[in-house]
Structure 1
Amino acid sequence: MRNYELVCVIQPDLDENAFNSVLEKVKGWVTESGGNVDKVDVWGRRKLAYIIKKHREGQFVLLNLSMNPSTTSDLERNLRYQEPIIRHMLSVVG
């Protein structure tokens, strides 16, 4: 198991229920693959450096994960196909 940081930029116009359901989906994918979500830190709504998919702002979330390196490709594929997630970045910690 390795430690990862996952930063997601989620569409700014989602209501609280839709935002929480996106987070629950991401957490579910991690736990289904045998990993753990250690911490979820919601940074809130912030202005983007440039326009992404016609959005000037995004809701930023940082997730600290521990999971097997072999399951990261499945997680990234699932993130890529989620429309509410504008951008994501998964990186190894340490």
Structure 2
Amino acid sequence: MRPEVGDEDITKIRNRVEGVIESTGGHLLKFDDWGQRKLAYEIRDRGEARRYERGLYHYYRYMVAPNTVNEIERNLNILDTVLKYMTVKIEDDLIPEERLARPVEEDIEEIIPVLDEEE
């Protein structure tokens, strides 16, 4: 998101994303506000000549039907305050009941293996 976005707009964006997830029967597994960080590359604003080197980052981990991902992305694309977004599919052949029974931390260890101290 744009770095100058206020708390009210941040809440609106979060409510919008979470609303789409919940209204389609999905589950929000984790949300993190990573705060303001340097962007990987400079982003030019859509209608303006302004360029951004920093932005606000939010991390959503959710479980939804495939068509819901398109709806979330459509909603983010409409918002002027959102500079960029990225969706990453993590699991194929997911069984929702099994996934909901597992803590999110287990998923993270599967994606980023913990290295042995000897290595």
TMscore range, shorter length? 0.7 to 0.9
The number of residue pairs the alignment matches comes to 85
> What residue identity is the alignment partner of 1:60?
Y
Structure with the bigger percentage of helix: 2
Q: Distance in 2 between matches of 1:78 and 1:89?
A: 13
The structure with the greater share of residues assigned to strand is 1
Q: Is the 8 A contact 2:20 2:68 kept in 1?
A: no
Moved over 4 A (4+): none
Q: Which stretches in structure 1 are left out of the alignment for 5+ residues?
A: 1-9
Q: Which amino acid aligns with 1:11?
A: R
Max radius of gyration: which structure? 2
Q: Is 1:45 aligned with 2:36?
A: yes
Point out which structure has higher relative CO (alpha carbons under 8 A, 6+ apart): 1
TM-score normalised according to structure 1 size? 0.81
Please provide the CA RMSD for this pair.
1.2
Aligned-pair distance for 1:73? 1.5
Q: 2:10 and 2:41 mapped to 1: Cα distance?
A: 22
SS in 1 for 2:4: coil
Are 1:59 and 2:56 matched, yes or no? yes
Instruction: Provide structure 2 residue ranges, at least 5 long, that are not aligned to the other structure.
Output: 46-50, 92-119
With normalisation by structure 2, the TM-score equals: 0.66
